[in-house]
Structure 1
Amino acid sequence: MKISGVDIRPGNILEYENGLWKVAKIQHTQPGKGGAYMQVEMKNLIDGRKTNVRFRSADTVEKVRLDTKDYQYLYAEGDMLVFMDVETYEQINLAADLLGDAAAFLQDGMMVTLEMYDEKPISAQLPDQIEAEVVEADAVVKGQTASSSYKPAVLDNGVRVMVPPFISAGTRIIVDVYAREYVKKAD
């Protein structure tokens, strides 16, 4: 589907210069002289390159629709991750770098949405938030105020996050996977 250059939004998948690109950031600019344009930062889904491109309102670009399918994470095998289609029980292997930093948050049995292009997985989406256990947390410094004072903590998956002072080792918390931030204490 063709869209105008000013209709591009973050998260869109575009076909540009014979490649598939995911839009990371956009900035709409209206200079004093000349027409308005959209400054678009994109990442190539196949080889990981990044680029900045200016699209004018008269420019059109092909927006690609990807098929999405839910898979269950089974286990890691070296630098490959094994997922299973929950309907057909078919297993597929994906490179861990396809998930980027979010791969550290994978848990056994977790449902992951894979985006497919021509039956080939090109990106994976984990749940936005997961539950994890704090295994190591610094002691609270006496005299620190409760407002906006966070301390470093290590989760059971090895990821470091900043948590409020009342969180101690052994506490289960909810973490934002993509921002790598504490959200709240788990119930």
Structure 2
Amino acid sequence: MVSAGDFRNGVTLEIDGVVYQILEFQHVKPGKGAAFVRTKIKDVINGGVVERTFRPTEKFPVARIDKIDMQYLYKDGDLYNFMDNNTYEQITLSEELCGDAMKFVKENETVKVLSYNGKVFAVEAPLFVELEVTETEPGLKGDTATGATKPATVETGAQIMVPLFVNIGDKVKIDTRTGEYLSRA
């Protein structure tokens, strides 16, 4: 059990039978009246975000989220196929369940599959990936002082913005949470 006074970002709780993850929290002590905790929480199953306030003494059970390392095998239509690295058991997940997580993941890479009570609700890509640029316009010589960017397509088909000096065939490091170019690999 976690009391509202002990909330931290990233904690998963079960509130009224629904599993929520705390995105933001703030302890508020108004000049008049009792203190309270203002939170922004996300429903981990359907992705909805709500703002709620709690008394600091309210207690909620911690929800146990299982994170399993699985290897991404291949995409078949709008279905993604994964294999558990320990048991070699294979599962198939829909494109809508995986969301944008698979945008930067190549075949045979390891991802984390998140589940609650055996029900898979999300896929977490590695934080950083290295991908090859397959399509981009050539950069102009001497046009680097402005820090300008240009669109590029990487080997998974995702579009990112890269500096002008990046060319086709270059390996780039990408932050999968934001989809931003970090550096050349």
Shorter-chain TM-score range: 0.7 to 0.9
Identity across aligned pairs (percent)? 36
Inter-CA distance 135–30: structure 2 relative to 1 (3 Å threshold): farther
The answer to whether the aligner puts 1:34 opposite 2:53 as a matched pair is no
- SS of the equivalent of 1:99 reads helix
In structure 2, how many angstroms separate the alpha carbons of the residues matched to 1:101 and 1:107? Answer: 13
Q: Distance in 2 between matches of 1:108 and 1:13?
A: 30
CA change 1:137–1:147 in 2 (3 A) is same
In the alignment, which residue of structure 1 is the partner of 2:62?
A: 63
Unaligned runs of 5+ in 1: none
Per-residue displacement from partner, 1:30-88 (whole Å, max 9, x unpaired)? 43333443322222222333211112312222221222221111112232211111222
| Residue number in structure 1 paired with 2:108 | 109
1:182 counterpart = 2:181:
yes
State the alpha-carbon separation in 1 of the partners of residues 42 and 73 from structure 2.
28
Q: State the shift of 1:131 in Å.
A: 0.9
CA distance in 1 between partners of 2:121 and 2:169 (Å): 36
Aligned to 1:95: 94
Equivalent position of 1:20 in the other structure? 19
Distance 1:74 1:20, change over 3 A: same
Q: Deviations over 1:6-46 (max 9, x none)?
A: 32223221111211122233344443333443322222222
The Cα of 1:170 is off from its aligned counterpart by: 1.7
2-structure distance, mates of 1:32, 1:100 = 44
- Which residue matches 2:3? 4
The one-letter code sitting in structure 2 at the alignment partner of 1:104 is K
The 1:80/1:30 distance shift into structure 2, 3 A limit, reads farther
* Whole-angstrom distance in 2 between the partners of 1:60 and 1:118: 21
TM-score (norm: length of structure 2): 0.86
TM-score, structure 1 normalization: 0.85
Query: Quick one: distance in 1 between partners of 2:38 and 2:147?
Result: 35
- Residue 148 of structure 2 corresponds to residue 146 of structure 1: no
Per-residue CA deviation, residues 121-155 of structure 1 (Å, 9 max, x unaligned), is 22222110111112233444677553643333222
Quote the RMSD (CA, aligned, Å). Answer: 2.3
The change in CA–CA distance for 1:98 and 1:8 in structure 2 (over 3 A counts) is: farther
